[in-house]
Structure formats: C-alpha cells, structure tokens
Structure 1
Amino acid sequence: MSADLTHVDTWLFDLDNTLYPAESGFMAAIVERMTDYVQKVTGLPRDEAYALQKTYLAEHGLTLKGMMIHHGVDPLEFHAIFHDMSLEALAHDPELLAALERLPGRRLIFTNADDIHAERVLARLGLSHLFDDVFHIGSAGYEPKPSPEAFARMGAAHAVDPATTAFFEDSERNLAPAADLGMTTVLVGPWAAQSTAPFVHHRTDKLAPFLTNARVRDAA
C-alpha cells in the first residue's frame, strides 16, 4: 500500500545512504578514510582505530564528535579529508529526481556531514536544485543527530512544524527524536524491512519507488 503523506509540506532528508543506495559503496569508502584519520591521530593499530571510531559513533552519534572531545581535533581539518574523494560510485537516478520533484512544499537536507561534502554529493546526483537548504553539521554547531539538540537547532533554523514534516533516514536511531517531536518517519535502505522500532512509521528498501507511490497533498 502507498503511504499517506497528504499532511506533509516539509520533506526532510538525510544525505548519505539515503539519497543514494548504500550498495554504492561510497559510504564504505568514507569509513575507510575516517579510519585512516583516527589511526593517524591516535597512533593506534588499524583494528583498534576502527573500533575506537565505532565507539565514538555509538557514544556521540558521530565519530568527529568523539575526536573533538577526546583528541582536540579541528572539525574543518577532519572534514577536509573527504573533499577530494572520487564520486564515481554515485549515479544520477531519473526516477528519484522525478519523485522528489512531485513533492509539494519544501525539501531540506539534514546531515551530519559538512557543507562541502553535501554540495559535492548533491551536485553529482543532479539533485542540488531540488533542495531549499542544507542543514549540515556546522549549521548544528557540531551537535550531531540523534541528539535532540541537533533537531532543536534544525527546527529553529527552518521553522519546522513536526506535524507536517516527514523525515527520511537510513539510520534507525536518528528517527527516534524525530518521532518524539511528532514527525512522520521513514527508514530507508536494505535493512529497513527488518526494523520493528515503534518510532519508525514507514520502511522502504529504495527511496524513489516509495516517494513515487506515496499519496501527497498535490503535485509540486
């Protein structure tokens, strides 16, 4: 059955592994670079650097946050390591472009990545023109999802009404604070169907067909 999203006029999207498929392998390449960086800063063997990276991700919602707190890392230096990454793994998806175009109201990006990464990825996907703004980790004062404070800052910056907002994410735990606020939540990705979390309202393995088939207020 198609999702009833006729109440939605603000469409909030995560970026990585949400607007492109996780199967692309692009995020895996990002994690590789992140592990390289953690290893360089800490001097740990690679397996221990990877484990620490995942610990910080679990504890703080973002590896960078842990690196800032415990190692005094400059976030601009950290993000710079991703700015020359090849985008060859990312491809235009005409179905997704058409599905996004039909959505009534405004479309926003809410990402734990920085502005330059977001701009590069959106441009590569051919989707830049479809979004009103990007609320990135710098916009949030380096307070990452799933922190309620990150959602508060995003909501204040864009006068978001949770009751008329749908949030699309590949990370289940990032949907919990959105649901608490009253947003409609959509878990995206190959593992979405396995989710049994009560705060996940809709699940889809692929974003484009879900949006194409969803009932919306009117055609944009």
Structure 2
Amino acid sequence: MDARLAPIRNWIFDLDNTLYPASANLFAQIDERITDYIAQRLDLDRVAARKVQKNYFHTHGTTLFGMMADHSVDPHEFLGFVHDVEMDVLDHNAPLVAAIARLPGRKLVFTNGDAPYAMKVLARLGLAESFEAIHDIHAMTYVPKPSLSAYEGLLTRHGLDPRESLFAEDMARNLRPAKQLGMTTVWVDNGSEQVPNDDDRGFIDFTTTDIAAWLTAMMEKA
C-alpha cells in the first residue's frame, strides 16, 4: 500500500457518482425526479421548480433539507418518490469489488441518500456484501453533508478515529469538513455537479477520475 495511507483503518465512501461514474447518469434520473416532486408539491412549472431545487441544493446541502425546512415535506415520501428510478444503467464492477475487498480494516458508505436506495445501487455494482454499514440521511437526522454534524455523527455512531479514516466523495465541498476533522480525503473528479464559485481544493489529499483504478494503484504501491 502507498505509505501515505498506512494509518488508514476506516475506508468511507460516498455513494452516488463516487462508487459508480457520473457518466452512468443514474443520478441524472434522480435529479429529474426531484424537479418533478417540487413542481407537483409547490404547483410550479419545471423551470421554476428547477430554480428552487438548485437553490436548496447549493444552500442547504440537499434539496430535501430545504424542502423540509420551508415546506414541511415528509422525508420518507420525498425519498421514495425521487429514488424510484431504474438501475439498469449500472453494471457489476468487478475491479471495484476486488479493490474494496483488498482494503484492510472497516468499510462504510456515507450518503445523503437513504439506505434502501443505497442497497439497490450496491447490489447492482456487486458490492452488496462489501460494507459493514450505510450511514444515511436518516442517521444524520436529515442534516446532510457538508454540515459538520453529519460527519461527527458518523464518527460517533461507528466509533471511528478520523485520523485513521479516509473519505472518498465526488462533491468537492463535502470533503472540507472531513479534512477539518482529520480525515484523509479523496476527490472523485468525474464530472458531477459542483457548487458554483467554490474553487478551493486545498483540503483534498488525493484526486482521481476512477475510484476503482485509484484504489488498485494505491494497494499495489510499495
């Protein structure tokens, strides 16, 4: 293993656009479903609904958190609606399965989605048995990444030392709190949506476009 990763005992992964490439466009389906939900719930056309959606995403971390705060949306109803998408764009990823299996220590998923959806994604990728836990939006009490409390809750619930933890994520802004707490950070820069005018990358330790290739290369280094 790469010597810089020798202290790592806890391997934490975001889900969407991290464990599968953004080019699969699975999250694009969810994005459209979120627009549909807002349009129906707030009686807006899709253009206006899209503006509401992205404003909440940029300012609250997730559209759900904004809709809960301003419109008392039920999170289970919202998540059930927006995650009702086809998984056939995802394929079994043998190199990723093998790379994660080789990692020493504990492995967890940390997602702003919910566990039922995450389990469906993991099953499609061949990762259904690869992680000990999914720390989801319900576990965060709906206060999502990048709120610091989401990361603190993850560490406390699962007894993780941040200095022995690595977090891989496609949203660069979601790595800032992880680094603040002492985690090693990996940015999966594969074309997913980023927050406008947020160009600071000083909190990122490693960058890759392919998490499977990166993990494989790191494990093979002396």
Could you state the TM-score of these two structures normalised by the residue count of structure 1?
A: 0.93
RMSD (Å) for aligned C-alpha atoms: 2.0
2:104 aligns to what? 104
For 1:199 and 1:86, locate their aligned partners in 2 and report how far apart those are by CA, in whole Å: 35
Q: Note the C-alpha offset of 1:119.
A: 1.1
1:36 aligns to what? 36
2:16 aligns to what? 16
1:53 aligns to what? 53
Of residues 200, 205, 219, the one that matches 2:204 is 200
Query: How many aligned positions are there?
Result: 216
For 1:188 and 1:43, locate their aligned partners in 2 and report how far apart those are by CA, in whole Å: 36
List structure 1 runs of 4+ shifted beyond 6 angstroms: none
Q: Is the 8 A contact 1:4 1:214 kept in 2?
A: no
Q: Is the 8 A contact 1:188 1:207 kept in 2?
A: yes
For 1:124 and 1:81, locate their aligned partners in 2 and report how far apart those are by CA, in whole Å: 20
User: How has the CA–CA distance of structure 1 residues 142 and 196 changed in structure 2, closer, same or farther, with 3 Å as cutoff?
Assistant: closer
| Gap runs ≥5 in structure 1 | none
% identity of equivalent residues: 44
Look up the equivalent residue of 2:169 and give its one-letter code. E
Which secondary structure state, in structure 2, belongs to the residue aligned with residue 80 of structure 1?
helix
1:128 aligns to what? 128
Q: Note the C-alpha offset of 1:216.
A: 8.0
1:213 aligns to what? 217
Which secondary structure state, in structure 2, belongs to the residue aligned with residue 89 of structure 1?
coil
2:165 aligns to what? 165
Look up the equivalent residue of 1:131 and give its one-letter code. F
- Please list the CA deviations of residues 136-190 of structure 1 after superposition, one character each: whole Å capped at 9, or x if unmatched: 0001111100000111111110111011100000000000000000100000032
For 1:82 and 1:197, locate their aligned partners in 2 and report how far apart those are by CA, in whole Å: 30
Q: Note the C-alpha offset of 1:3.
A: 7.4
For 2:3 and 2:209, locate their aligned partners in 1 and report how far apart those are by CA, in whole Å: 14
Q: Is the 8 A contact 2:22 2:191 kept in 1?
A: no
For 2:39 and 2:50, locate their aligned partners in 1 and report how far apart those are by CA, in whole Å: 8
Instruction: Give the 5 Å matches for 1:70-149.
Output: 70-149=70-149
Deviates more, 1:204-213 or 1:80-89: 80-89
Which secondary structure state, in structure 2, belongs to the residue aligned with residue 129 of structure 1?
coil
Q: Is the 8 A contact 1:104 1:216 kept in 2?
A: no
Could you state the TM-score of these two structures normalised by the residue count of structure 2?
A: 0.92
For 1:84 and 1:140, locate their aligned partners in 2 and report how far apart those are by CA, in whole Å: 22
